[in-house]
Chains A and B, each alone.
Chain A
Amino acid sequence: MLLEVRDLEAGYGASKALFGISFDVDEGEVVTLIGRNGMGKSTTVKSVCGLLKPFDGEIRFRGRRIDGRAAHHVCRLGIALVPEGRQIFPNLSVRENLVMAGRVRPEGREPWTLERVLDFFPRLAERLGNGGAQLSGGEQQMLAIGRALMTNPDLLILDEATEGLAPLVRDHIWTSLDALKATGLAMIVIDKELDALIGFADRHFVVEKGEIAWRGSSAELVADPSIQEAYLGV
């Protein structure tokens, strides 16, 4: 098992948002966290990435406890985040946004370098000297994914990676993610676009009021329209 989350409880200040979340991700597997806004999806991935210290529960990456560890430790172990809202560094150029995250890890697949990221997203190669804030939404999204790839992760977490993008750009992002999946990269995807997720992911976890309300494969999710009605507001 690549990632195991057991009975995760977390929140902000005194208010709890997660009441015992449990899920797991296998090597090379793509899973989704789906559910309405404010149900705890982002809180869950923030806890996994080390951006939020959990109140209780366990998070294991390759069997190693990572809950409560600093974000840069978690990143160096091989978990990369494409954050909600993209959060490109506006005061760094496109090149710098990529290079700052660069990290070579000895073991594993063919490493992601600046050249490989630029081959993967040729649009970024044309805008290397631009400031991070001068990019379009789609370009920023490519940069956010490229930046995460530069850390050479084994698990990529995408929080609302297609939000607010034009349909054509969204398709391009999904195609790119397909190509990443084909390299054997495991992913956790949070997204509203259920149709795309069903075709893309292996398993799904429905997050409802800080708990996992349903789990199953894409086939099971398609087969049971009541789940979509009950939890996804479709």
Chain B
Amino acid sequence: MLILEQTLNGVQLGVMLFLIASGLTLVFGIMNFINLAHGSLYMAGAFTAAWVQGVSGSFLLAIPAAVVVTAALGAVLEIGLFRRFYARNHLDQVLVTFGIVLVANEVTRIVFGPVPLRMPLPPALAGSIEIVPGLPYPTFRLVVLIVGLAVAALLWAIVMKTRIGMWVRAGSSNRPIASAMGVDVDLVFAALFAVGAALAGLAGLMAGPILAVQVGMGEPILILALVVTVIGGIGSIKGAFVAALMVGLVDTFGRVLLPPALGSMAIFLLMALILAFRPKGLFPVHG
């Protein structure tokens, strides 16, 4: 019973991490751009959702609002700022995106105040479902799990089966030649960035009712997402998915089964172990 419940918790944390890490790994792998502000987009998704829900009283309305707002924020950041940093070194990229993190946190604090916002769930999602006799499991966590898996499948299908996906992959392997074949690579990358941002926003929105919607909520999750990205292999969607589930499960079980000090370290031990044998991650994309 405990094992089943914790497995579900681990998988659910895993799919949340995947939503965040998928955008991070594509941007990192394809544009060679380290975006520390990705966690801020997660926070933006959570705050947008909490605010829209607070004003309108509707959780359903909060979902598209959070997705659209974070996608737009992502597009604006990419076109207005990050695009100029693709060719710069990683230190410049870390500095500018960390600057965004600080600004985003302060602006959020000024607008919404230091007190965490509440996101009450609508009655239909607030209860529990008995998944096996005698084991109730929160409905919303189950929804998060299903949505995460569905988005993962959709993302895989888009990248692997559509022409847009071909353009993304072609642009990632040889940008000038892709553009010489008629692909507007700038536009494709801006759209990719917006989608990555929207996925982070979606994760933030789904984390809202489970965790607290507060300033700085993006940083701990960003670190986990970076671990996922590195374990999975930078730029690999498949790697991000496998690694996100691994990290989710290891983190969840580590906290339950191991002593507290060791439990919180478990995923970093996992990362060190994997990188020792597979320095480029589980599914390396480039060479």
Residues of chain A at the chain B interface (Cβ within 8 Å) = 49-51, 70-72, 74-76, 80-81, 83, 87, 89-92, 96-97, 99-103, 147-148, 151
Contact = CB atoms under 8 A, between A and B. Distances in A.
A100 B170 contact: yes
Contacts of B181: 75, 80-81, 100-101, 147-148, 151
Interface stretch (B71-79, B111-119, B172-180, B195-203): B172-180
Contacts of B186: 70
A101 B181 CA distance: 5
Contacts of B183: 72, 100
A43 B186 CA distance: 23
A91 B172 contact: yes
A156 to B, nearest CB: 12
B169 interface: yes
Interface of B: 163, 166-167, 169-170, 172-174, 176-186, 285
B180 A49 contact: yes
A89 B167 contact: no
A92 B180 contact: no
Given A91-B172, A92-B169, A97-B170, 18 more contacts: A51-B179, A70-B179, A72-B184, A75-B181, A75-B182, A83-B180, A89-B177, A91-B169, A92-B173, A96-B169, A99-B166, A100-B163, A100-B166, A100-B178, A100-B181, A100-B183, A102-B163, A151-B182
A92 B166 contact: yes
A76 B179 CA distance: 10
Contacts of A74: 180
Contacts, number: 68
A72 B166 contact: no
Given A72-B184, A101-B181, A151-B181, A51 B173 contact: no
A71 B170 contact: no
A91 B178 CA distance: 13
A81 B180 contact: yes
B182 A89 contact: no
A96 B166 contact: yes
Interface centre among A87, A97, A103 (most CB of B within 10 A): A87
A221 to B, nearest CB: 29
B16 to A, nearest CB: 28
B124 to A, nearest CB: 43
A71 B173 contact: no
Contacts of B166: 92, 96, 99-100
Contacts of A50: 179-180
B183 to A, nearest CB: 6
A72 B170 CA distance: 13
B180 A51 contact: yes
A161 B58 CA distance: 62
Nearest to A74: B180
A102 B178 CA distance: 12
B176 A51 contact: yes
13 contacts: A51-B176, A51-B179, A70-B186, A72-B182, A72-B185, A89-B169, A89-B174, A91-B169, A92-B169, A100-B183, A101-B182, A102-B163, A147-B181
A90 B173 contact: yes
A76 B178 CA distance: 13
A74 B183 CA distance: 11
Nearest to A132: B173
Nearest to B184: A72
Contact of B177 (A83, A103, A151): A83
